[in-house]
Amino acid sequence: MTELVTIYVAVEGDLDEWVARRLVTHVGASCGPVYGKQGISHLRERIRGYNHAAHTLPWLVLVDLDRADCPPALRNDWLPHPAPRMCFRIAVRAIEAWLLADRSNLARFLGVSTSRIPRNPEALPDPKQFLINLASQSRKRTIREGLVPGQGQRIGPAYNSYLMEFVRDVWNVTRAASNAPSLQRALHCLQRLIQSSFPTPPPGPVPDRG
């Protein structure tokens, strides 16, 4: 039996961790320790250390584009000289766009019509706010109360836990990648990372559920 490649991960937050874990297992690798999870500034301060480690170990660092001009500019600012085993990927414009890209599954999960979700979610200026707005129109009371923030809140009290459940149990990575080019590029990067670690061809992607 072929031993799986272990990929170390660094992300901004808890939801990003579950997305990264799904991507790593989707391409047939094993997810190692997950670092960061304390916001974008914390990740930015430690990127040189992660990159240094990627000279010998496979790494995935996942960040949101947010309000930066474009992925190449952000990549050059953060990591002008990536190590050979570094997969530094940018979600356009936020990780929520990758969830929105699995339109039918997310629509069922949220209790809204699929027609309300755009076919090109990466073109949204604020995917997180768009998703919250969708949740506010949900037929499910638990979704409205869990994802929609109250006064003085950025997100609802169960925003991360509900969306982590979606990523873990429902999200179809292959379908989402067909509607989100930056997600497709992230998968290709991980596949190249695995191929460079194997003397023989690695196992293929794990089939998605749903």
pLDDT in tens, 83-132: 999 999 999 999 999 999 999 999 999 999 999 999 999 999 999 999 99
Architecture in CATH of 6-92+180-195: 3-Layer(aba) Sandwich (3.40)
Domain ranges of the chain: 6-92+180-195, 102-169
What pLDDT shows up at residue 3? 83
Return the residue matching tokens 């999960």. Answer: 109
pLDDT tens digits for range 36-74: 999 999 999 999 999 999 999 999 999 999 999 999 999
**Which parts of the chain are beta strand (E)?**
6-11, 30-36, 59-64, 86-91
Does the pLDDT at position 207 exceed 80?
A: no
CA distance 133 to 156: 11
Find the helix packing angle between 14-26 and 181-195, rounded to 10°.
Answer: 60
Does the pLDDT at position 1 exceed 60?
A: no
